[in-house]
Amino acid sequence: MLSFPFPRSGVLRCRGRDLAYGQRTLVMGIINVTPDSFSGDGIGGAVDVAVERAVRMVAEGADLIDIGGESTRPHARPVSDSEERARVVPVVEAVARAVSVPISVDTRKPKVAEAALAAGAHLINDVAGLQRDPEMASVVATFDVPIVVMHSPGEPWDVPWPATYADVVDDVRAYLDRSIQIALRAGVPFGQVIVDPGFGFGKSVDDNLTLLRRLGEFRSLGAPVLIGTSRKSTIGTILGVPVDERLEGSLATLPLAIAQGVDIVRVHDVRASARVVRMADAVVRGFVATGDR
């Protein structure tokens, strides 16, 4: 089953809060500063709640925190640059002071990314894979930070959702390769690019299961791989449960992803996820953590 060699290691330079990957799987904790998150955990602009949540996540095992100010759930409507900045920047400033792990900002907008990085963020998570606005790659290159390029076939209000693929893995891999080339042309070093196949974004249940089943094929791109399955609708459909009852299904996907060579998992429920990751890493990667987290 395990056909992918370990370790495949590297270091993401995060403005002094560097992340080493390869020896073990990294856990990214999600904080949504939106009023309409699909997962039901949006906290709006409550900075104190965000700080409390970030501190708890780090104590529970998060290696980095991902802050998002615009919902990307199906049928969500976009928000303006100014509104997203107003949600994100105060939270980034406060969380960056409260924790020592890198802060990622989940945004498709160059102006929001620039403001967040100026406020103290350490990397950008672009759900449009640098293919929505050409300025995003330039912002990332200027600040010399890592970038997560995720696959999405387009905005849910602009294109059929889910999209149609000739072969979902081949099509997504080709998209991500284009994203990598955009980053490189803008001056982003290859070692600063992370790829995410976009589980749940414009994909059917069968598409998502195929991505999870064939995650290892994305290693051919040469970049670290991130996956975000947490609480997604595919899990709800398979189990027949609402979003607040998808913990077990979410956890089940993590060792499957780790066995396929994923480097970073993006999760809502950090404590349980980090424990599953540690156990899976011991089996798959031969990494046994010492001490309690």
d(CA 142, CA 139): 5
| 240-255: b (≥16 Cβ within 10 Å) or e | eeebeebbebbbebbb
Catalytic residue among 203, 232, 246, 285: 232
- Which tokens is 133 given? 């606005």
Catalytic residue among 53, 246, 266, 285: 266
Q: Is 78:45 a contact under the CB 8 Å cutoff? A: no
Give alpha helix (H) positions in the chain: 47-60, 81-98, 110-118, 135-143, 168-186, 205-213, 233-239, 247-259, 270-284
d(CA 221, CA 205): 24
Pairing of strands 193-196, 103-106: unpaired
Taking the CB of residue 124, how many other CB atoms lie within 10 A of it?
27
- Which tokens is 205 given? 């249940």
Active-site annotation holds for 232: yes
The catalytic site residues sit at 232, 266
